Amino acid sequence: MPAALVTGAGGGLGLAIARMLAGRGYDVCITDLDGEAAGGAAHAIGTGAWSRRLDVTDAADCYAAAGEVAARSGALDVWVNNAGILIPGLAHQQDPDTQRAMLEVNALGTFNGVRAALDAMMPAGRGHVVNVVSLAGLVAAPGEVAYAASKHAAIAFSIGTLADLRRSGVTGIHVSAICPDGIWSPMLEDKLDDPDAAASWSGTMLSPERVAERVSGLLDKPRPVVAFPRWRGAFVRVFDAFPSLAVRLIPLVMKDARRRQQRFKRKLERQAA
């Protein structure tokens, strides 16, 4: 039975990805900083799932987790770096500790996971590391600047590591970055009234299950980077290519995003009534 590990899988997107992997026949290690949440998620999935607490900012813990999966199943086939945190706020007003926290989890946590996964995959010469980035990894997101910076670091590490593997002659191990639009998950559920988080509502609000389905397709057909939906990826790349234009348009874009955010809240309120 192939084996997989998913970080930040106590709920939301991570749990949806873990369910998808279990459905594909993987023995899935569900990890989360909240060990009880990880255990509950594994229990909810049932057959084909087990759990352990994992702090992705601790490199030694990541290596230990990868080793446990390999020891249990004989190999580590898939590692999904999903753990992440989002703390909106104006870049010039956020305190350094807040920005450092996002860099440690979103960037260094991804670095640690990639290295640990590759250490376990190298002996077999095969495997797939999937890094959940974000469209914020392709463009600077107003109000979510430190988050976007951490995701830029994650995607650079993802693409660069794949390039290093190939120039080292390693062809059986893949590294992919998936960059989805906003996802309605615990990461955003407490930010409906936060105007600094409005950029997350600027496009298509996705469900965790839709993104998990796209990750499944990525496992079948590996690619270095996948933006989802594709049109949104093209849209944000235009902003990234023309920063002067982007800065001039940002007030209009954010005003529209804030309207979308408020409209989404009203929709939820109607559904709950």
The catalytic position among 79, 111, 147, 239 is: 147
**Pairing verdict, β 27-32 and 173-180:** unpaired
Smallest CA-to-CA distance from 189 within 261, 252, 134, 136 is with 261
* Exposed/middle/buried for residue 71 (C-beta within 10 Å: 0-12, 13-18, 19+): exposed
**Is 26 part of the annotated catalytic residue set?**
no
Smallest CA-to-CA distance from 35 within 54, 48, 21, 50 is with 54
Contact 155, 137 (CB under 8 A): yes
**CB under 8 Å to 47, separation ≥6 — which residues?**
22
How far is residue 224's CA from residue 138's CA, in Å, rounded to a whole number? Answer: 13
List, by residue number, the catalytic residues: 147
